[in-house]
Amino acid sequence: MEEFDGLPDAWHWSPAPGLDFAAALSADGRHLFQVNARDTYDQNLVAAILHTARENSPQLLEKGELLSAPQEFRHPGRDFEVIAAARPGVHRYHEVQQPQLQQVTWAVFPGYTCEFADPSRYSLEDARESFIRFLSPADLNREPVPFLRLWYDNTVTKGGTDGPDGILAAEKTLYREIKLLEGAPGSFVRFENFRGSVFRIEWDPERAWTLAEETQSSGPDPLDIADLLSFAERSLR
C-alpha cells in the first residue's frame, strides 16, 4: 500500500496484476470511500472520484441509502454523469478479512443517470444484484447499463416472472421478450425505467403490438415492432 499521489489521507494498493484499489477518508474522517478497478485503472479519474466523494460526504453518507447516485460528476474524456455509492452490505469489499473496516467503507464509482432508480425502489437483494451483476463498478471503461425492472408472461413460451416485484433485467431481455409476444395472445411485457415510469406491451392478431403507459389515462397505442423497440430503448435513457 502506498499514499495516493496528490490526495491527502488516501491510499492505493494493487494485490494482483490488473487489480487496483484506492481509498480516501471521508470529510469527517470516520468513513472510507473506496474505488476498485479491474484492468481499467486511471489514476486521474480515480483521484477525481475520490475527491468528489470526499467533498460531498454528507450526500453520500447521511441518508444511509443502499445504492444511490446523488452527486453530479464530470471528467475530461469521459461520459460519466454521476458519482454513485453503495453502502456496506451491498458491497462486500472487506466482509471476510476485515469486517470492522467493512462497516465503515462505502464503495464509490462513476455512473450514468439512467442506471439508478429512486433509492426507495431497491431492496437489499435488488441493490446487491444491481451492483454486482449489472453495474460492474470495477470496470471504469463501461458503457451505461440502464435500470430496468421487468414483468412478463408468455402464453406460448411459458416464460414469465413470479410475484409482484418483477426482476431486474438487462436490456436484451426486454427486447427478446417483446419480440416473443408475436403470436402469443394473452401475453404481456411490463417494464419500469429509472424515472419510475411503467409501460405495458401486448400483442393481438388485430392490433399487433400495443403500448400503454400505466401512469396515463389514455388507451394503448398500436405500434409496429421497429417503433416499439426504438421507444423502449429511448425510454430507458
Can you give the C-alpha Rg of the chain in angstroms?
21
Say if residue 169's pLDDT is above 90: yes
C-alpha cell at 102: 467493512
User: Could you tell me the pLDDT band of residue 219, with boundaries at 50, 70 and 90?
Assistant: low
Q: Indicate the domain borders of the chain.
A: 2-135, 149-235
Higher pLDDT, 220 or 156: 156
Say if residue 108's pLDDT is above 70: yes
Say if residue 182's pLDDT is above 70: yes
Q: What angle do CA 108, 141, 115 make, to 5 degrees?
A: 55
Query: Do 157 and 184 contact (CB within 8 A), yes or no?
Result: yes
Say if residue 53's pLDDT is above 70: yes
- Give residue for cell 487489480: 19
Q: Rounded to whole angstroms, how far apart are CA atoms 11 and 23?
A: 5
For residue range 110-145, list pLDDT tens digits in order.
Answer: 999 999 999 999 999 999 999 999 999 999 999 999
- Give percent above pLDDT 70 in the chain: 99
Task: Using CB atoms within 10 Å of the CB of residue 28, give its burial: 0 to 12 exposed, 13 to 18 middle, 19+ buried.
Answer: exposed
Q: Please give the model's pTM, rounded to 2 decimal places.
A: 0.91
Residue 133, classed as helix, strand or coil, is helix
- Give percent above pLDDT 90 in the chain: 85
DSSP state of 144: P
**What pLDDT is stored for residue 217 in this prediction?**
66
Nearest to 122 by CA among 218, 192, 44, 185: 192
140 to 5, 102, 120: CA distances (angstroms): 19, 22, 26
